[in-house]
Each structure stands twice: as structure tokens, then as C-alpha cells.
Amino acid sequence: MEATRHPDTLAARLQTLPKVELHNHLEGGAMYPDLALRLAARNGMTLPFQDAASAADYYRFTSLDQFIDILRTTVATLNTAEDYADAVERQGIEARRQNIRYHELFVTYGLVSRRGVPWEAVVEGLVEGRRRNADRHGVDTAFIIDLDRTLPADEALRHVQLALGARERAGIVGLGLDCQEAGFPAGRLRHCFAAAAEAGLPLTAHAGEDGGAASVRDALDCGVTRIDHGVQAVEDPSLLAELAERQVLLTVCPLSNVALRVFPSLAEHSLPQLLAAGIPVCLNSDDPPMFASDLLTECVAVDAQFGLGEARLVALLRNAVVHSFQAPDAKARLLADFDAAAARLGDEHGDDHG
């Protein structure tokens, strides 16, 4: 295994790669204190924090349930097309800062539909935010419509139909599934996955986060080709073998898992076992402002913990490019750029060590 570099150096080197991130949530991922406070003021609301320091106190979780409560409070600031456009653009700015060229953002309409936010306002905001990211920041933004697992079955199907209706216009590239796994198995919404698959929309699902290996199997049975998290798959060796055999990508978010107590510490995270099983994994920051993270921070943290080395991290970053739901032509171009940048890193690496 390659020697671990000084973290700052590692981050600076990984910065040079044109990257892809596949597991960020539009809503929670935009709740940087400054933007959340600006949206709250615009919507005549008061948040339980007043600045970055009090937000950091507020963004301290002990469970996924508590996190979802806090998320629903902050996400109440999202109401209009302009709010949504600002949220999308905020993530475009963060992407450009890290040299992320393409990202897929989960949009959970169920978080706001119960408050009566019209779907058309959401779509308008996605369209505008995506345009800004392309024009102002050089970032290609796509969306995955994430079903709130706790929605009534007919309401969830309606969200799939809304997504399919706005697919081309809003850059919607997939269907996903989110929120508490306990009591809400993916199979409950099998008809939603079937409808999306019939329309040719790729499928993914959050599973194996607070749910176990059975929850991952349940999602696979719904036809998904990627799993978001999936870190509890290690409970079941036969599941690990199946994920490796079928090359199902796991979009793993290590620092989110620690913040939400999925694992008591990073040292106890299942990432090494997932990698040892031969499963394709990529690293992600989930809701970066709420977990004080970003993609490069995740890379540096797992390297420091597990000594993965730069070549392994480059391979994980490459997995995100390969397994994205990006259109084939654009993906091929980005992959060529990534491989060229990775080769330059490799050459420099050779020089470093004579």
C-alpha cells in the first residue's frame, strides 16, 4: 500500500482531477448558514440559528430521525422557484471550488409538497439553477428525484409522473428513494420504480444506512443499479458477493455516517470491507454543510483513517465518473479528461520518488 501523503498535499493533488459527485441532496446540501438565513429572511421565517457558529451547534445529530427533523426545519426555507435556483447554484459554486465538473443532486419533493409548494416552482428553480451552474460556474448539474419513503403509495407514484413530465426540461436523470428505512421497505414503492424503469429512467435508492442488509436486498429487488450508502451490506457476505458480481455502485458518505451514528467512529466504518469485497464504491459528502464536509474532505479523512493511498482514492473518484447517469457522450469526454489528469498525477508521482 502506498504511503499516505500529507493531507494538504493530497487534497491539492486530488483537486486537479475533474471530478464527479453522485450523492448530494439539493435541500440539505444547500443549507449553508448564510444561504439558509437569506432564504429564511426572504420567506419571513426565523431559524433556530443566527450565524455560522450557532448553526454548527444546531447541526449536531444523534440519529437519522433527529437529522430529518432538523432537515425539515431548515428546508422550510425553500418555497419559490428563486429559492430553489439559489440552492442549486450554491451547490454549483461549491462544486467548482472543488473542480467537480458533473454532479447529481437528489431532489426530495416530498419534503416540501406537504407544505403546498407547487411542483412547477420546483421545476422552474431546477431549470434556472442548472442554467446558472453551466453558464457561470462550468458545472453540469443533473437531478435525481428522490421519493420520500414515508409517502402514501399513490402520492409517491404521482411524484414519479411529475418527474417524468419534467425530465428533459429540468435535467432529471434518475429516480431514487430516501428517508427512514425502518418500517418503510423499498418494495412498498415497487410500482414507482417499475413506472420509472418502463420510461427508461435509471434507478437508485438509499438503503443499508439505518436499515440492514435486508433493506439493500429489498432495493435491489426493485431494479436499482446503484445503492446510496449500502454500508450495512457487510452484515451479509452473500450480499457483498452479489454486489461485487453485479458491480452495483455504492455511493458511500463516510463522514455523514459518523455524524448520524451509523458507525460510532470512522475507524469502525465498513468501507475497508466493502473495498475488499470488490464492490465499486465512490465517496460523497451527502449534505455537506450539515456534516461540515465536502468531497475532498471525505477523501482526506478516509485516507488518514485507512491509509488507502492516492492511487486508490483516484480509483474511487473514477468510479463516480463511470457509474454516473450522465449521457454517454458527455460521460466519455469527462472520463477521458479524468484519465488524462490522473495520468499527469501518476507521472508527477514517479518524479517525486525518482
Helical (H) or strand (E) element with 104? strand 100-107
The DSSP letter of residue 188 is G
286 part of the interface to Zn ion, by CB under 5 A: yes
Contact string 217-246 vs Zn ion (x = CB under 5 A)? ------------------------------
3-state SS, residue 46: coil
HSE, CB side, 13 Å, CA atoms: give it for residue 63: 7
β-pairing, 100-107 vs 140-148, is parallel
Q: Catalytic positions, please?
A: 209
Q: Which stretch binds Zn ion (CB under 5 A): 43-51, 53-61, 232-240, 280-288?
A: 280-288
Give the integer Cα–Cα distance in Å for 132 and 68.
Answer: 29
Give the integer Cα–Cα distance in Å for 30 and 346.
Answer: 34
| Closer Cβ to Zn ion, 286 or 310, answer by number | 286
Beta bridge partners of 205: 227
21 part of the interface to Zn ion, by CB under 5 A: no
Q: Which stretch binds Zn ion (CB under 5 A): 71-79, 147-155, 285-293, 314-322?
A: 285-293
The DSSP string of 1-33 is -PPPPPHHHHHHHHHTS-EEEEEEEHHHHT--H
Helical (H) or strand (E) element with 251? strand 249-252
Q: Which stretch binds Zn ion (CB under 5 A): 55-63, 110-118, 284-292, 317-325?
A: 284-292
Read off the C-alpha cell for 95.
462544486
| Closer Cβ to Zn ion, 259 or 296, answer by number | 259
3-state SS, residue 147: strand
| Closer Cβ to Zn ion, 205 or 314, answer by number | 205
Whether 89 contacts 289, CB under 8 Å: no
Q: Which stretch binds Zn ion (CB under 5 A): 140-148, 242-250, 272-280, 286-294?
A: 286-294
Q: What angle do CA 205, 74, 301 make, to 5 degrees?
A: 60
| Closer Cβ to Zn ion, 98 or 108, answer by number | 108
| Closer Cβ to Zn ion, 178 or 310, answer by number | 178
Read off the C-alpha cell for 244.
461485487
Residue listed under C-alpha cell 447529481:
104
Give residue number: closest CB to Zn ion: 286
Read off the C-alpha cell for 187.
418494495
| Closer Cβ to Zn ion, 25 or 90, answer by number | 25
Rg of the chain taking only CA atoms, in angstroms: 19
Contact footprint for Zn ion (CB under 5 A): 286
